[in-house]
Amino acid sequence: MPNSSTYFLPQGFRTAGIHCGIKSNQSARDLAVFLSESDCIAAGVFTTNKVCGAPVQISRERVPGENVRAIVINSGNSNACTGEQGLADARTMTARIAEEINSPAESVLVCSTGVIGVPLPVERICDHVPELFENLGETPEHLQHAAQAMMTTDTFPKIISRYVNLDGGTITLTGVAKGAAMIAPNMATMLGVVMSDVKLTPAQAEDLLPIAVNQSFNCISVEGHTSTSDTVLLMANGQSNVGLDDKGDLAQFQAAVTTLCTDLAHMIIRDAEGAEHFITVDVEGARTFEDAEKIAHEVANDVLVKTAVTGNDPNWGRIVSACGRTGCIESEAEVSLAINNHAVFKKGKPVNFDENVVSKAMKTGEVILDITLNQGNGRWRIWTCDLTSEYVRLNSEYTT
C-alpha cells in the first residue's frame, strides 16, 4: 500500500470510491468518480481490440472534449459483449452522474472493468450515486478510495502525484491506474486516469496523451493480450492558470506525463499475479524502431523466455531464437546479448560465462535483457514479468 502522504489531487478535483454492490465482497469498493469543479480539456487512448466494451465506445465518442467534468468507473463488471443494452447502460451511468452536477451526459466519461458478457446492474449503480457524491473529497484518502474502487485483482491501488515546475508556475499531475495487465483472471483491464490543473489546449491534450501512453502503458506486456476495455483518460481543468505556451514547457510537461505513466505501468507489472521477476527487454541497433519494437515484443511475450527467467536460467538460446523468429535479422551473427550486464552471446557466438554468477544476478528478481544488433539506430524497450506456476494456477483455477 503506497504511503498516502505521497499523493494528492490537483486543484479543483475531488474523488470518491464506494461499494455499490457489484462486487460480492461487501467491503470492496466498486464505484468511483473523478470530478472536476470546472470544465476540463480531455483526451483518451483506447484498446485496439475490435471486441471492445460499451464504455469504450461511449467514452471514445466524447474525447477529445473541452467540457468534460467527470469520469465514472465501476469494477466487477466490464459491460463488454453486452450488446445494445450495454451501450444504453453505459449512457445511463454517465447521465446519472451528469444529473448530479447539472451538466449534459456528454460531459461525463465512463469505464467499466470486470467480468464480461454479464448485464451491468445499472440500477444499483444509479441508486448509489447520491452516496457516491456524499463521499466526494480532495484528501489523499478520497483519492485512494477512488483508486481502490477501480481495482479487480490488483493487490494495491496504483497512484502517483508530481509537482511540475513550469515557466508560469507549478502545476500538479496525478495519475491513477489499475490492472494486472491481462494477467488476472477473466479479462482484467488496464485503466488509467491522469488529472492535472495545467491549462491545456485541446490540440495539446490530444497530442500529449498518445505519446505518453505509447512509451509507457504500451511498453508493458504480461502475455501480449490487449483487453476489451483498456482505456487511459486525461482531464486538465486549467485551475493553476499555468499554460504550456513555449516549447520548453510543452516538452517538460510531456516528459512529466510520460514519466508518470511509466511509473504507473511499472506498478502494474510489479503487481502482476504470480510474477517473481521484473524483466526489462532493451533492444538497440535495429534497422528501425519498428523492428526494435517487434523484437522486444517477441522476446517479452515468449513463454520459453519467461519460464527460463522464472528458473533464473540464463538461457540465451531461447532469446536469440525469439529474435530470429521475427524475421528482423538475417542470422544470429547480427545479435549480441547481455543478461544483467553479463555478456552471454556476442555477434552470433556464445560467450564463455559463469552461469552461476548470472543466475545469481537474476535471482534478485530484476532481470535486464540487453539485445544489441549491428544494423542501425532502432531502439525499443519493454517491461514484462516472468511466467510462474502460480500464474497458471490463478488463471486456470478461476472458474467463470
> What Cα–Cα distance (Å) separates residue 86 from each residue in 55, 117, 119, 265, 396?
8, 9, 7, 29, 28
Say whether 82 counts as a known binding-site residue.
Answer: no
The reply on whether position 396 binds a copy of itself by CB under 8 A is yes
Binding string, residues 52-71; x marks residues near a copy of itself by CB under 8 A: x-------------------
Is 189 a catalytic site residue?
A: yes
The reply on whether position 352 binds a copy of itself by CB under 8 A is no
Burial-class residue 398 by CB neighbours within 10 Å (0-12, 13-18, 19+).
exposed
Say whether 346 counts as a known binding-site residue.
Answer: no
Number of residues forming the site for a copy of itself (CB under 8 A): 66
356-375: which residues touch a copy of itself (CB under 8 A)?
359
Return left, alpha or beta for 79; rule: phi > 0 is left, psi -120 to 50 is alpha, else beta.
left
Angle at 112 (CA atoms; ends 111, 114), nearest 5 degrees: 155
The reply on whether position 181 binds a copy of itself by CB under 8 A is no
Active-site residue identified among 189, 228, 231, 310:
189
Report the residue number, 67 or 321, with the smaller CB distance to a copy of itself: 321
Binding string, residues 300-339; x marks residues near a copy of itself by CB under 8 A: --xxx--xx-xx-xxxxxx-xxxxxxxx-xxxx--x----
Stretch that binds a copy of itself, among 37-45, 199-207, 226-234, 240-248 (CB under 8 A): 226-234
Cα separation of 179 and 378, whole Å?
30
Report the residue number, 103 or 312, with the smaller CB distance to a copy of itself: 312
The reply on whether position 349 binds a copy of itself by CB under 8 A is yes
Can you state the angle between helices 303-310 and 316-325, rounded to 10 degrees? 160
> Which residues lie below 8 Å from residue 345, measured CB to CB, with a gap of 6+?
316, 319, 320, 332, 335, 336, 337, 351
Say whether 395 counts as a known binding-site residue.
Answer: yes
The reply on whether position 348 binds a copy of itself by CB under 8 A is yes
Residues placed in the known binding site for substrate = 152, 178, 189, 273, 395, 400
Which residues are catalytic, by number?
Answer: 189
